[in-house]
């Protein structure tokens, strides 16, 4: 029976194979192929509402919003750099989390927490559009639309009571619209000191979490709870106007020192000065200057033929660093012809002063800065001065909000009362930053002129441009707030060569200072009068003592 079944099997195989090949060949030759339907391509305006709604999520933001630009070149750059960025970011995450994990070792029976695997995967994030915002401040504002459908391999191992628990993050998807501010712009590489990041809207985050091989996100209600918790926590920390500030440069290397107070100087008198004239007398005067300042020195009047002059003249100097700045006092003998002879000098460090307290100094005049020079034994007389340092109020200096210790900037400011703001001396600082579209009929070599209370200040001239950038600051010390006053600014072009019509006014503006006194600071662009399209960018501060 077994032999018979074997023979029948061999016979059936021998007949079935040729028969099957013959039937397949006949079907291939005589059967007609089915027609393949071509894909129907339809323009967007022919689609119905439901089809359009399905497509909107996949349309890049630079198509929907013309303010956004395509940045395919940057995405290509990130793609090529992603293997290296992945390792660098993961190394940074490991170093940051080591101290965080160490705090839980020994608590709740936890023996160890460590990454078994940490990789962001092979798929980099993609920027679907980038918008650059223009502001009046010295900053650059970027608003990218970032999407990341990644394949990370992040496995965290938790050793608890001798058990090994693995937590794996899978299928990560993130859509976020941050605002990135590079500020302030400074003349030091990389040309910005801080990166401030805030979120314009709550982020969309989707991911799966596997614990001991099971996806816990499949638990009913847990997925929605985790989503809401993440959005709420991230929004409370970084949703605008809250920001995360990341320092890039050391503030000490890029900070531009701002005025912090006013030094009141009273040059009282000098005694027993040297005789420099032929008739056995001198014509003395005093020059005053603070170290670290480029402003010209202030001068007293000249006392003719007097070796014991009485001046009793008062001056005000702007202080930027009372701990390091020094007041220089130099006494000269005025000569009608030639250089003036130096009678002596002295230095007074401002750190010797107590704020708001007047201190008198009776000092011996020296020949030079070498105070302990044994060769300088000649008596050069004495000088008597009175100094008072009046620092500015902190509430009038801090006009940009308060920053907490974790780098998140909080909004809000406690303003002083009107009676405090609208009384007392102060400093008016005028920063002429630049102009746009200023055009002359004969030449374009613009510079700005600031006129206030009879004083005239000028910026440098920039040749052959319609969009000059000056970034020059001028300061005026006032006894009272300029509530009912205006400051006049003109943009003038000057021909560099010889010409009868060498100057040309490109526009002017009068700025009311009442808003500056009320707010402490304004930073705006003003349209120039008598100019077709010209604008000027000015920042003005009022700081009180």
- Which string of DSSP letters, residue by residue, matches 313-359? EEEEEEES-TTT-EEEEEEEE--SSSPPEEEEEEEEEGGGPPTT--E
Same domain? For 290 and 333 the reply is yes
Domain boundary among 251, 284, 313: 251
Q: 212 and 77 share a domain?
A: yes
Domain-located, residue 494: yes
- Regarding whether 164 and 85 lie in a shared domain, the answer is yes
Same domain, 245 and 270: no
Residue 244 Rama label (left phi>0; alpha psi -120 to 50; beta): beta
Residue 448, number of CB atoms within 10 A of its CB? 28
Global pTM?
0.66
59 and 105 assigned to the same domain: yes
* Pair 130, 99 in one domain: yes
352 and 206 share one domain: no
Q: For residue 342, what is the domain's CATH number?
A: 2.60.40.150
User: In the listed set 251, 285, 316, which residue is the last one of a domain according to the structure?
Assistant: 251
Q: How far apart are the first and last CA of the chain?
A: 120
Cα–Cα distance for residue pair 245/248, rounded to 1 Å: 9
Number of structural domains the chain divides into: 3
Residues 431 and 501 both lie in one domain: yes
Bridge partners (DSSP) listed for residue 148: 174
Residues 287, 165 share a domain = no
Q: Are residues 96 and 209 in the same domain?
A: yes
Question: Of the residues 251, 272, 288, which one is the last residue of a structural domain?
Answer: 251
Query: Distance (Å, rounded) from C-alpha 404 to C-alpha 16?
Result: 86
Same domain, 126 and 163: yes
Range of the domain at 285: 261-370+378-391
What does the pLDDT profile of the chain (545 residues) look like in tens digits? 555 565 555 655 566 656 666 665 555 555 555 555 565 666 666 666 666 666 555 667 767 777 888 888 999 999 999 999 999 999 888 888 888 777 777 777 777 888 888 888 889 999 988 999 888 888 899 999 888 888 888 888 888 777 788 888 877 888 888 999 998 888 888 888 889 988 888 888 877 777 766 667 666 777 777 777 777 777 777 777 788 888 888 766 665 678 889 999 999 999 999 998 878 889 999 999 999 887 789 999 999 999 999 999 999 999 988 999 999 999 999 988 888 999 999 999 999 999 999 999 999 998 876 656 665 667 889 999 999 999 988 755 555 443 333 344 444 334 444 444 455 778 999 999 999 999 888 889 999 999 999 999 999 999 999 999 999 999 998 888 998 999 999 999 988 766 666 889 999 999 999 999 988 899 999 999 999 999 999 999 999 87
DSSP label of 46? G
């Amino acid at each position: 029976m077994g032999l018979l079944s074997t023979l029948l099997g061999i016979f059936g195989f021998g007949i079935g194979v040729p028969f099957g090949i013959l039937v397949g060949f006949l079907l291939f030759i005589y059967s007609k192929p089915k027609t393949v339907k071509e894909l129907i391509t339809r323009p967007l305006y022919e689609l119905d509402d439901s089809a359009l709604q399905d497509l909107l999520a996949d349309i890049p933001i630079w198509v929907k919003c013309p303010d956004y630009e395509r940045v395919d070149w940057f995405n290509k750059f990130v793609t090529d750099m992603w293997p290296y960025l992945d390792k660098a970011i993961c190394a940074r995450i490991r170093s940051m989390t080591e101290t965080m994990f160490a705090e839980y070792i020994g608590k709740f029976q936890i023996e160890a927490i460590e990454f078994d695997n940490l990789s962001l995967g092979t798929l980099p994030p993609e920027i679907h559009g980038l918008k650059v915002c223009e502001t009046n401040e010295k900053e650059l504002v970027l608003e990218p639309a970032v999407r990341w459908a990644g394949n990370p391999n992040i496995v965290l191992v938790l050793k608890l009571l001798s058990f090994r628990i693995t937590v794996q993050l899978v299928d990560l998807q993130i859509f976020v619209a941050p605002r990135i501010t590079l500020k302030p712009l400074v003349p030091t590489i990389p040309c910005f000191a801080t990166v401030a990041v805030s979120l314009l809207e709550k982020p969309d985050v989707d991911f799966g979490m596997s614990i001991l091989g099971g996806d816990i996100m499949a638990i009913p209600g847990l997925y929605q709870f985790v989503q809401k918790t993440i959005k709420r926590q991230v929004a409370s920390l970084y949703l605008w106007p809250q920001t995360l500030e990341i320092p890039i440069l050391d503030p000490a290397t890029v900070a531009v020192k701002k005025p912090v107070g006013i030094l009141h100087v009273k040059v009282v008198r000098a005694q027993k000065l040297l005789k420099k004239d032929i008739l056995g007398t001198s014509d003395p005067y005093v020059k005053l200057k603070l170290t670290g300042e480029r402003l010209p020195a202030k001068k007293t009047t000249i006392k003719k033929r007097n070796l014991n002059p009485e001046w009793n003249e008062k001056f005000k100097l702007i202080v930027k660093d009372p701990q390091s700045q020094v007041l220089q006092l130099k006494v000269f003998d005025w000569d009608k012809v030639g250089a003036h002879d130096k009678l002596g000098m002295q230095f007074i460090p401002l750190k010797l002063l107590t704020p708001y307290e007047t201190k008198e100094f009776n000092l011996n005049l020296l020949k030079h800065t070498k105070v302990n020079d044994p060769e300088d034994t000649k008596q050069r007389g004495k000088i008597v001065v009175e100094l008072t340092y009046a620092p500015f109020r902190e509430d009038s200096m801090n006009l940009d909000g308060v920053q907490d210790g974790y780098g998140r900037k909080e909004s809000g400011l406690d303003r002083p009362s009107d009676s405090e703001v609208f009384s007392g001396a102060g400093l008016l600082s005028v920063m002429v930053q630049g102009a746009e579209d200023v055009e002359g009929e004969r030449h374009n070599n613009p510079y700005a002129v600031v006129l206030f209370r009879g004083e005239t200040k000028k910026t440098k001239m920039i040749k052959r441009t319609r969009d000059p950038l000056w970034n020059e600051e001028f300061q005026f010390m006032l006894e009272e707030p300029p509530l009912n006053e205006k400051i006049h600014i003109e943009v003038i072009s000057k021909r560099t060569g010889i010409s009868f019509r060498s100057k040309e006014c490109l526009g002017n503006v009068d700025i009311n200072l009442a808003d500056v006194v009320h707010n402490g600071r304004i930073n705006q662009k003003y349209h120039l009068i008598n100019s077709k399209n010209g604008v000027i960018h000015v920042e003005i501060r009022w700081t009180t003592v």
